[in-house]
Amino acid sequence: MSEKITHFTERCPDSTPERRFAPVIEAIDALLAGSEEILMAAIDGRSGSGKSTLASFLLRRYPDAANLFHLDDFFPQEAQRSEERMAEIGGNLDYERFREEVLIPVWYGDPVIYRPFDCHTMRFPKDREQTISAKRLNLFEGTYSCHPYFGNPYQLRIFLTVDKETQLKRLRARVGDEGLVRFRELWIPKEEAYFERFRIMENADLVL
């Protein structure tokens, strides 16, 4: 975007998606109206902040114009998870494969062909291979979507945040008490280090 636009929205329990995500709709509509080029929008932010909710809402709002790609499909492969790699800020993402298999084809308007990584089998199941045709609006949802390894391919960078109490409540509902311990001890500290080191929120166009 040519100008940085930052919105902080009040998180009201009774807020509708249209109200909560109004700044995003406004920004995307302006980008779609202002150019015929392929548009790339990153949805980064904290665990439990509503990234997937926003992405699903946008996919429903722009059903004929949008593709959605999830960063969770690019967990590091077993051979990549060395002690050195996992200690790297932002290293718990297969950013090499995401760039080559998704970002570059989208950038050139080519179809995207990839297999989501299955964390349970530690493989790329052939039966889950996806072929996604090019569309104008491309949404990249997940923490680390604004990793500096990717450069700056996006016309819109969105950051979602959440207070700690709400975050932990949502994560407990999602992964249970045992899973929450792993989030608190591992995943949340890793993402917070990434946000701070690379100033992800400060460099976003929209903050919700």
Domains in the chain, ordered, with CATH? Answer: 17-207 (3.40.50.300)
CB atoms within 10 A of CB 100: 12
pLDDT on residue 4: 52
Mean pLDDT, consecutive 10-residue segments, the chain of 208 residues? 48 70 97 93 98 97 96 87 89 94 97 86 79 96 97 97 97 95 95 98 98
**Closest Cα to residue 39, out of 157, 145, 152, 155?**
155
- Contact indicator for 98, 141 with CB cutoff of 8 Å: no
CB-CB neighbours of 4 under 10 Å: 11
Q: Token pair 């089998």 is at which residue? A: 121
- For residue 49, the Cα-to-chain-centroid distance in whole angstroms is 11
**Cα angle 124, 142, 149; round to 5:** 85
Pairing of strands 137-141, 206-207: unpaired
Q: Which pLDDT belongs to residue 183?
A: 95
Q: What is the token pair recorded at 137?
A: 């609006």
Cβ–Cβ < 8 Å for 160, 9? no
What is this structure's pTM? 0.90
Residue 74 to residue 94: CA distance in whole angstroms: 5
